[in-house]
Amino acid sequence: MTLPKYVSDNAGAGVSWGHALRCPRCRGRLRDSDGDGDGLRCDACAVTYPVENGIPRFVPQDTYAEGFGFQWNRHRLTQLDSHSGLPITRDRLLRASGWSPEDLHGRTLLECGSGAGRFTEVLCETGAQVTSFDISSAVRANAASNGRFPNLRLVQASVYEAPFPEESFDYLLCFGVIQHTPDVERTFKTLFRYLRPGGRFCVDVYAAMVAYPHPRRLLRPVTRRIPPARLYSLVERAVPRLLPLSMALGAVPKAGPYLARAVPVAGHRHLGLTDPEMIRNWSVLDTFDWLAPRYERPQPRRRLARWARELGLREFSIRRDRGLYVIGGVK
């Protein structure tokens, strides 16, 4: 079987797998607009979607997720296992999903909201046929890091208007995304359109913790309005001052994780990072990621379960993983 050409052989030279995509407006097929791969044309809608450096784009450059584009291009490598030398992302993915690399090998998988591509990298290494998309310019960072994989297709699109055939993927993965969208229920339910009946899914969401809300919630009403570059420079200055205090509090037996939360910078004691520069970079990235997003809407477990029932998912379970709920199962 001849595999279609993926983003790696197309960087800077158009895209040759546009036939696999659908017009997000009318669901019709797309064709190469001018024969050189710089655009995908829907004749029925009379619209041409641009292809930039091999990545088809179905959204404007400027959306509510601009801060994510900024953070992931600034921290293109920080969280990639190939950069940290630790299996942090791989372990999280396999633990949360319960999938093995052998399960995924040769299967089609849709990854929603791929950011800089920390999970994309692990997924591609399994030999799955991976389609990853993100609404923001983070797709550029992902292409720079993972464009080497022949089994990766990258698209810039929103989950609400995604250019994929319905019920076509064997697996669906979406980590760290749905709480950052304007309508979490709609996002969750829309995702499942692209998964085939019998396909497997794993989606996580910030857990709503009524008893102990995170103190960053006090800062976010102000920080989410600050332009990304300005906020980033504030975070870059605050982290070296506050991180040692957060780490010291975090080391207190038993109460440590709760005490550390009083300091509004992200610490990563549990990840096993030892290099001071890496620890600082993870903290700057995650502190910015706490404070910058336009939307952050944690969800209670019972609401997730209701949505899953309303979708008629065949099997599902919801587990707590630190501050997240992870829902996985079969459509």
**Residue 189 is inside which H or E element, if any?**
helix 184-191
The conformational region for residue 158 under phi > 0 = left, psi -120 to 50 = alpha, else beta, is beta
Tell me: does residue 171 bind ligand SAM (CB under 6 A). no
Residues 259-318 that bind ligand SAM (CB under 6 A): 289
**51 closest CA partner among 12, 9, 23, 24:** 12
Total binding residues toward ligand SAM, as defined by CB under 6 A: 22
Tell me: does residue 90 bind ligand SAM (CB under 6 A). no
Sheet of strand 315-321, all strands in order from the earlier edge strand to the far edge: 152-156, 129-134, 108-112, 169-174, 195-206, 324-330, 315-321
Tell me: does residue 131 bind ligand SAM (CB under 6 A). no
Backbone angles phi, psi at 203, to 5 degrees: -135, 135
CA distance 81 to 79: 6
Residue closer to ligand SAM by CB (options 123, 308) is 123
CA distance 325 to 178: 12
Residue closer to ligand SAM by CB (options 118, 261) is 118
Tell me: does residue 68 bind ligand SAM (CB under 6 A). yes
The stretch near ligand SAM (CB under 6 A) out of 23-31, 65-73, 298-306, 312-320 is 65-73
Residues 97-126 that bind ligand SAM (CB under 6 A): 112-115, 118-119
Residue closer to ligand SAM by CB (options 249, 265) is 265
Q: Which of 169, 171, 175, 290 binds ligand SAM (CB under 6 A)?
A: 175
Contact positions vs ligand SAM (CB under 6 A): 65, 68, 72, 112-115, 118-119, 134-136, 138, 158-160, 175-177, 180-181, 289
